[in-house]
């Protein structure tokens, strides 16, 4: 009985020493995004958002994020054939612009001033400008380069960060989608799924830290 009471007292003491705190923050930075298996170039743009940091222990934190993220790809190339004349081919290219609200649940593991983070995300498409219809159409008989496939994406997030000051931090992250954002019959037949991929580099500021 004495050992049980000592164990309970030790548990209560350690729990009272652990201070769970919640701190809001802002983050923004540079994004480079692409869509796999299309032979495209990276789209250079930005991201901006907010987060809530739940500090559970000195080693482990949970971070909830809401971000506006501009993704897509540049210089998507396709071959256009006019209806009724298969010998007439036009080689064209366009940019793919897909913009999302990104909801992320991030697990952060702290090692001194460094942190390593990983977690899932849900991206909801809020706007897109996939191609210019005037450029795509040729005499009213041109096929479209691709079709929009899904209004949402599920992502895997992996990254590393560094705390410059108690409030200001730097982080770099890789994000990979698992739901195909667009569909292209030609590229799908030869290369498989086309998935979102992006790299984020930016600063974050935590309030009341």
Any idea what the CATH number is for the domain that residue 31 is in? 2.40.160.20
In a domain, 97, yes or no: yes
| pLDDT tens per residue, range 68-109 | 999 999 988 776 655 555 555 666 778 889 999 999 999 999
In the predicted structure, residue 190 carries a pLDDT above the cut 90: no
| pLDDT tens per residue, range 180-189 | 888 765 555 5
In a domain, 174, yes or no: yes
Write out the residue range of the structural domain in which residue 71 sits. Answer: 20-206
pLDDT over 90 percentage in the chain:
58
Entry pTM: 0.78
| pLDDT tens per residue, range 23-35 | 999 999 999 999 9
Give the angle 53-59-63 at the CA atoms, nearest 5°.
Answer: 20
In a domain, 9, yes or no: no
73-77: long-range pairs with CB below 8 Å, 24+: 73/33, 73/34, 73/35, 73/38, 73/40, 73/41, 73/42, 73/43, 74/40, 74/41, 74/42, 74/43, 75/40, 75/41, 76/38, 76/40, 76/145, 76/146, 77/39, 77/40
Domain count, the chain: 1
Q: Which residues contact 64 (CB under 8 A, 6 or more apart)?
A: 51, 52, 54, 104, 105, 106
In a domain, 128, yes or no: yes
């Amino acid at each position: 009985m004495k050992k049980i009471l000592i164990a309970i007292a030790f548990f209560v003491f350690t729990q009272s020493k652990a201070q769970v705190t919640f701190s809001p923050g802002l983050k923004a930075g540079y994004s480079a995004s692409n869509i796999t298996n299309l032979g495209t170039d990276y789209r250079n743009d930005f991201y901006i958002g907010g987060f809530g940091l739940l500090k559970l222990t000195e080693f482990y934190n949970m971070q909830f994020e809401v971000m506006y993220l501009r993704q897509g790809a540049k210089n998507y190339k396709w071959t256009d054939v006019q209806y009724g004349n298969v010998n007439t081919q036009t080689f064209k290219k366009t940019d793919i612009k897909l913009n999302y609200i990104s909801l992320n649940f991030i697990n952060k593991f702290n090692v001194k001033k460094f942190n390593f983070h990983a977690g899932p995300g849900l991206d909801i498409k809020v706007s897109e400008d996939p191609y210019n219809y005037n450029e795509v159409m040729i005499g009213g008989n041109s096929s479209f380069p691709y079709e929009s496939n899904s209004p949402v994406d599920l992502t895997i997030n992996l990254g590393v960060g560094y705390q410059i000051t108690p409030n200001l931090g730097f982080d770099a992250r890789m994000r990979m989608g698992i739901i195909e954002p667009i569909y292209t019959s030609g590229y799908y037949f030869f290369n498989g799924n086309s998935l979102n991929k992006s790299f984020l580099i930016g600063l974050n500021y935590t309030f009341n830290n």
